[in-house]
Amino acid sequence: MTATRVLVLNSGSSSVKYQLLDMRDSSRLANGLVERIGEQSSRLKHTPLATGGESRERTGPIADHDAALKAVAEELAKDGLGLDSPELAAIGHRVVHGGKHFTQPTVIDGAVLAEIERLIPVAPLHNPANLTGIRTATALRPDLPQVAVFDTAFHTTMPEAAARYAIDVETADAHRVRRYGFHGTSHAYVSRATAKLLGKAPEEVNVIVLHLGNGASASAVEKGRCVDTSMGLTPLEGLVMGTRSGDTDPAVIFHLARVGEMSIDEIDTLLNKKSGLVGLCGDNDMREIRRRIDEGDERAKLAFDIYIHRLKKYIGAYYAVLGHVDAVAFTAGVGENAAPVREAAMAGLGSLGLAVDDGLNAVRGDEPRLISPAGARVAVAVVPTDEELEIATQTYALVKR
Ligand code: AMP
């Protein structure tokens, strides 16, 4: 029997998201989520997509990632999709930080594990959880290829001029301070899907990808290769996000420490968790922000305006970086669903060839679609991202025989 299934695991510090796919036709067999791992109120939600069955939920303590993955394996086994199946070809792991070293998806061995571990200082929140997921899955199926797919890999093609900060080179290199970029799996998938929508090969087009979710990042993709992206050493840099500030003057940190008497950890929490849309208006959900704006809420309006202003600055910057732009693609929760964000981001950019057609922009859908007027110089598109499919595709390409 040919093994054609891939299990995709996205392990966070207290959660595991998973999806099982059959790579013969990229169909989804099951997906689910374990959250609040380590608490009394852990929850597992499992949806058996292959059989079209109802979602099942379990609540009650799940002590650690090991217990979580075992619970997932039990749920999959109930649907005849157990992890012991000979049809399972590999497990693909989302790994947030691959540094400069990992430019491609990689079959995990001891050396790869050690390198992911070495990167913990630049990804203290993410890489430890990713490592736990890998170790747990390996213990469950030691015979199976485990593949790491890195969020940073797509951005390793950035030229030094884009990747380096203008700080002392020796200090930067000693501490591996440079721009790595994140959401790479999404930027890779969406830039390729955008080329396909235009009927072109990825090597034939230049695309600005706007991944606007709770985390948000932009990238400039030239002929299929990333040449700049808005996130940096960590996901804090760049666009205004749900809870992250994005760009600020770095001296804000010195000022808050010296004058505000805040500790480094307090400032870290402020900028990563209490800033962005939530810091500006108390809400990070774009639906709620739009509802408040419709009711005349000034704070919500200001938060929206700051969000759009920053977005426009990046669109302009990447237009200049690329020189010629074939398409701007909106993706992720906000990008795919919030027509007012797309409209506001493109407003006034007609001289760059950018515009949206109001009728097309209002249409909802799950498929990639154009929202620019017929005959527009630059295509504007909504392209739903699919990071799980991209991880599964990259994983399978490495292991299939
Ligand atoms: P993501 O991180 O890609 O899952 O995106 C999550 C974010 O997408 C949420 O915080 C919302 O701000 C936004 N979002 C999701 N659905 C909608 C919608 N229907 N309209 C506007 N924004 C949405």
User: CA 185 → CA 43, 122, 137, 180, 349, distances in Å?
Assistant: 27, 19, 21, 13, 28
Spatial separation of the C-alpha atoms in residues 92 and 90, rounded to whole Å: 6
Q: Which ligand 1 atom is nearest residue 338's CA?
A: 21
For tokens 């050396």, name the residue: 111
User: C-alpha angle 13/19/24, rounded to 5°?
Assistant: 150
Instruction: Report the separation in Å between the CA atom of 381 and the middle of ligand 1, taken as the mean of its atom positions.
Output: 17
Same fold, 5-150 and 200-387: yes
Atom of ligand 1 nearest to the CA of 287: 21
Q: What's the token pair of residue 392? A: 């599964």
Q: What is the dihedral of CA 347, 349, 355, 356, to 10 degrees?
A: -20
Ligand 1 neighbourhood includes 341 CB (under 6 angstroms): no
Q: CA-CA distance, 311 to 282, in Å (whole number)?
A: 20
Q: What is the mean pLDDT of each successive set of 10 residues along the chain, which is 401 residues long? A: 92 91 96 93 94 91 92 93 93 94 94 94 87 92 95 97 98 96 96 98 98 97 98 96 97 98 97 97 96 98 98 98 98 97 98 98 96 96 96 95 72
Active site residue 151: yes
Task: Give me ligand 1 centre to Cα 256, in Å.
Answer: 31
Cβ–Cβ under 8 Å, residues 125 and 13: yes
> How close is the Cα of 239 to the center of ligand 1, in Å?
15
pLDDT at 126: 87
Residue 11: closest CA among 172, 125, 182, 154: 125
329, 208 in Cβ contact below 8 A? Answer: yes
**Could you identify the atom of ligand 1 that is nearest to the CA of residue 341?**
21
Tokens describing residue 153: 């890999």
Per the residue annotation, which of 22, 79, 151, 283 is the catalytic one? 151
- Cβ neighbours of residue 296 closer than 8 Å, sequence gap 6 or more: none
Cβ pair 214, 272 in contact under 8 A: no
- Looking at residue 1, what is its pLDDT? 65
Side-chain half-sphere CA neighbours of 18 within 13 A: 32
Look at residues 40, 44, 2, 46 and name the one whose alpha carbon lies nearest to residue 24. 2
Residue 336 counted as an annotated binding residue = yes
209, 194 Cβ separation under 8 angstroms? yes
Ligand 1 center to 87 CA (angstroms): 35
Pocket probe for ligand 1: among 210, 286, 363, 387, the residue whose CB has the most ligand atoms within 8 Å is 286
| Phi, psi values for residue 63, rounded to 5° | -65, -45
For the chain, which residues make up each domain, given as ranges?
5-150, 200-387
What pLDDT score was predicted for residue 52? Answer: 85
Chosen CATH of 5-150 out of 3.30.1780.10, 3.30.420.40, 1.20.1560.10, 3.40.50.1700: 3.30.420.40
Q: What share of the chain is helix, strand, coil (3-state, %, to 5)?
A: 40, 20, 40
Is any atom of ligand 1 closer than 6 Å to the C-beta of 333?
A: yes
Pairs from 340-347 (Cβ < 8 Å, separation ≥ 24):
340/290, 341/212, 341/286, 341/307, 341/308, 341/311, 342/371, 342/380, 342/382, 344/304, 344/308, 345/210, 345/308, 345/311, 345/312, 345/315, 346/380
Which residues, in sequence order, are bridge partners of residue 59?
Answer: 43
Predicted pLDDT at 125: 80
Residue 232 near ligand 1, beta carbon < 6 Å? no
Choose the residue to mutate in 281, 285, 343 for probing ligand 1, maximizing ligand atoms within 8 Å of C-beta. 285
E strands present in 251-342: 327-331
Q: Does the CB atom of residue 337 touch ligand 1 within 6 A? A: yes
Cα distance from N-terminal residue to C-terminal residue, the chain: 12
The verdict on whether residue 310 carries a ligand-binding annotation is no
- 200-387 belongs to which CATH class? alpha beta
Q: Which atom of ligand 1 is nearest to the CA of 289?
A: 12
Rounded to whole angstroms, the Cα distance separating 274 from 370 reads: 35
pLDDT value for 165: 98
Q: Whose CA is nearest to atom 23 of ligand 1?
A: 334
Query: Would the CB of 278 count as within 6 Å of ligand 1?
Result: no
Q: Which helix (H) or strand (E) holds 317?
A: helix 298-322
Instruction: Tell me the whole-structure pTM to 2 decimals.
Output: 0.94
Least Cα distance to 340 among 386, 377, 294 occurs for 294
